[in-house]
Amino acid sequence: MKVMRRSRWLARLAAMLVVGVAGLVAAASAPAQAGIVIQANVMAAWGHGLLGDGGGPGRSLYGDIKAAGNNVVQVAAGWYRHRLTLRSDGTVWAWGRNDAGQLGDGTTTGEGTPVQVTGLTGVVTQVAAGWDHSLALKSDGTVWAWGNNDHGQLGDNTSVGSLVPVQVPRLTGVTKISAGYGFSLALRSDGRVWAWGWNDRAQLGAFSKSPFSLVPVQVPGLAHATGISAGLEHAVATATNGISALTSVWAWGDNEFGQLGDGTLTSHGAKPVTGFPVSIAGIAAGGEFTTVLGGDGTVWAWGNDTSGQLGNAPGGTPVTRPVNTIGLGSGIIQLSAGGAHVLALKSNGTVLAWGNNQLSQLGIGSQASVTGPVQVAGLTSATQLAAGLDVSFAIHTVPYLVGL
């Protein structure tokens, strides 16, 4: 796979049709009974194209994607135009680009609506989509991968891609997964983070003699981790000190736009980010920026801010230290960062958005630029978000009549 540098990626930002990174919120529906109303978990989408409805130019307001089903609990979006959904029965479904087999259905044929990923026996609890590869975490703590493998991002000790899921060897006890541009992350129950794939900018947590690793390697220096998030070519994690619940943020990888938050533009291995006077409740790594949710509802961000993706007025100078862009009382409980925009879930089920809106990815009915958070029009009862390069997804609960 030809490596795309950040400057070139940014120049093509509005033209690409890809979607990126997010987290699992399980919300299984009650068993259906004849003639009653249940709460269905449906996927909503807005922004630029390939939303799972078979095609079309996209939309500026959210719409429910019926083809995704009524029991969706997680959406994950790849950086190279493919998407995954996890249903409450533990099955995985995919659509979009498939030239590297990233849909996992045994073919290289793209799909406009979701098709089931084959060969995943047992129950899957989380999915993650990278540039053109995919990951699944099963309930037994094993990790499975499929799609492109030219830099070892499948972790199976080869550089040969796979059209169907293959198990990542010797990796057990995993609780969370995330995927970036040609690399993968896994958090184990012992608080250690493992990474594999592309490593030309220390995406695996440290520079090494080889620009990639075909097998998982431990991110050095990072212990007691509680969360992980892979951006395009950088990663962040949360960790405790092993004694109290106090949480820190660690970052590593590409730093061309200050997305590691250490005051420089130099890429490096894993180390803590300083400057947080609050406890940490969540993290989300975007294309060339990072966002952090404080336990008090504040939002902190750093990195590229050319589209206002940090939550304030756009700026042409990289922000290399954490800045508080959204204050107390926001009600935000979850963040998802895309190419150059952010989605934020509030405790009342409504969704805020900010950043790039050239292709209607903010869901406000227009392509007008905005400064600071705006509410996604009409969307309520949301439980999980996934921000992509120029599209957005959400899972929300709606009444559903069955038995007629």
Helix/strand/coil for 130? coil
Q: What is the 8-class DSSP label of residue 6? A: H
In the prediction, which pLDDT does 146 show?
98
Annotate 304-329 with b (16+ C-beta within 10 A) or e (fewer): bbbbbbbbbebeeebbbebbbbbeee
pLDDT above 90: percentage of residues in the chain: 80
Contact 85, 68 (CB under 8 A): yes
In the prediction, which pLDDT does 35 show?
67
For the stretch 62-73, pLDDT in tens is 999 999 999 999
Contact 329, 297 (CB under 8 A): yes
Task: Report residue 191's pLDDT band, with 50, 70 and 90 as the boundaries.
Answer: very high
Bridge partners, residue 34, by sequence: none
In the prediction, which pLDDT does 306 show?
95
